[in-house]
Amino acid sequence: MLDVQKIREEFPILKRKINGHDLVYLDSGATSQKPESVLRAMDDYYRNNNANIHRGVYDMSVESTRMVDEAREKVAKFIGARTEEIIFTRNASESLNLVMYSWGKKNIKEGDAVLVTRLEHHSNFVPWQVLCKENKAEFRVWNVDREGRLVDEIASVRSTETRNDGKVKLIAMTGASNAIGTLVDIKKMVEMVRSKNPDVVVVLDASQMVPHMKVDVSKLPVDFVAFSGHKMLGPTGVGVLWGKKEVLNKMEPFLYGGDMIGEVGLESTTWGELPNKFEAGTPDIAGIIGLGAAVDYLESLGMDNVREHEKELIGYALEKFKELGDLVTVYGVDNVEEKGGALAFNVKGVHAHDVAQVLNNYGIAVRSGQHCAAPLVTSFGVSAMVRATFYIYNTKEEIDYLVEKLKEVPKVFA
């Protein structure tokens, strides 16, 4: 189990007061807070080591290059990948766009279909919608039931004649919904589509998985995995794309410029080896080093312990929310085994933004709105939801406090 009090000591921001109250940070699904070790690693880089990578033979540049290489090795080990298969991007959105531009544009053609789920964050929905329009392919949406589970028959794919007919060339799916927390049975869903087209390429948005549970890409039936460093204790500005080496090697670069080339001539240019081929220009060196420190931190806790802690919190919150009776509507599955650390709800008769505003008065930070998942949120017949997301530094006492303050909300609007 996690020693949460000790963990909290390591996050300086948790000492902040908001409107005179202790900060209760319940928005790690949007971005997590950062421990001292991550802050120190980045500060140390700028103070003592700042030099561009791959460009110099002098000590500081060699050192910076080594630090970035080490961070890449840490990330690779963390998710069971080969080091050269880890591509650093700006964020999960850029990772997903990279796949769309470099793989999708070339390989998705008229007559093909792309299958996305209704659970997707816009970052894994909109790029494929745009691609399908441009390449005249069919955009199919895999629906959810009333609890936000993917319906496990392909016949429910929206549209009249779309079925599991072998036309699907690419599946874009999340492993965990950022809005309502649903965990997806990835293997089952992929096998269903692969039974008709064994070559279907699978893009997994693991933005809400990698920070919260053990992910081993070598055991997943997927070709690409995208996630952001800032949701897993790392800094903003660094994302990761993992891709199978065989697939990445066949792809064209996404961005052109320095660092990604083999040889440049007046007539033509060749591309560098993986991962450089996909990393044009100076990367966020300090950010990558910070992400490496974040991986160290998570490894020291153990990802199974992280998941256990979150299961305990979400289970506790689901029970505790029952105290609120019909004052609140909770969305999504009511079962911790199928749920990540996100709890979405609405308070009767009060708009989600107003609820979040009232909670902010008490120092509680929650998210409100559509959570960049409009197709999912609107499928519940609402235009917005409040969302509390939990992480390693959250406690049951904070959930008690949230529930207590939710009881105040209707009084404010009475």
Catalogue the active-site residues.
372
| SS3 of residue 244 by DSSP | coil
DSSP state of 342: E
**Side chain identity at 228, as an amino acid letter?**
S
| SS3 of residue 144 by DSSP | strand
Q: Is 174 in the site for ligand PLP (CB under 6 A)?
A: yes
Contact segment (CB under 6 A) with ligand PLP among 14-22, 118-126, 146-154, 165-173 equals 118-126
**How many Cβ atoms sit within 10 Å of the Cβ of residue 120?**
25
* Rounded Cα–Cα distance for residues 42 and 34 (Å): 11
- How far the first Cα of the chain sits from its last, in Å, is 42
Q: What is each CA distance from 169 to 129, 176, 199, in whole angstroms?
A: 14, 22, 7
Instruction: Give 121 or 309: the residue with its C-beta nearer to ligand PLP.
Output: 121
Instruction: Give 269 or 378: the residue with its C-beta nearer to ligand PLP.
Output: 378
Q: Is 123 in the site for ligand PLP (CB under 6 A)?
A: yes
Q: What is 298-337 written as a DSSP string?
A: HHHH-HHHHHHHHHHHHHHHHHHHGGGGGGEEEES-S-GG
R_g (Cα) of the chain, nearest Å:
22
Contact residue for ligand PLP among 28, 32, 64, 93 (CB under 6 A): 93
Q: Quote the least distance from Cβ 192 to ligand PLP, whole Å.
A: 21
| SS3 of residue 136 by DSSP | coil
Interface positions, 200-219, toward ligand PLP (CB under 6 A): 205, 207-208
Interface positions, 352-411, toward ligand PLP (CB under 6 A): 372
Residue nearest to ligand PLP (CB): 178
Instruction: Give 30 or 280: the residue with its C-beta nearer to ligand PLP.
Output: 30
Q: Quote the least distance from Cβ 231 to ligand PLP, whole Å.
A: 7
Q: Site size for ligand PLP, by CB under 6 A?
A: 14
Residues 314-353, one symbol each (x = binds ligand PLP by CB under 6 A, - = not), give: ----------------------------------------
Q: Quote the least distance from Cβ 141 to ligand PLP, whole Å.
A: 16
Structure tokens at 37: 């070790």
Q: Is 97 in the site for ligand PLP (CB under 6 A)?
A: no
Q: Say if CB 142 and CB 306 are below 8 A apart.
A: no
Interface positions, 9-48, toward ligand PLP (CB under 6 A): 30
**Side chain identity at 287, as an amino acid letter?**
G
Instruction: Give 121 or 405: the residue with its C-beta nearer to ligand PLP.
Output: 121
Binding site for ligand PLP (CB under 6 A): 30, 91-93, 121, 123-124, 174, 178, 205, 207-208, 228, 372
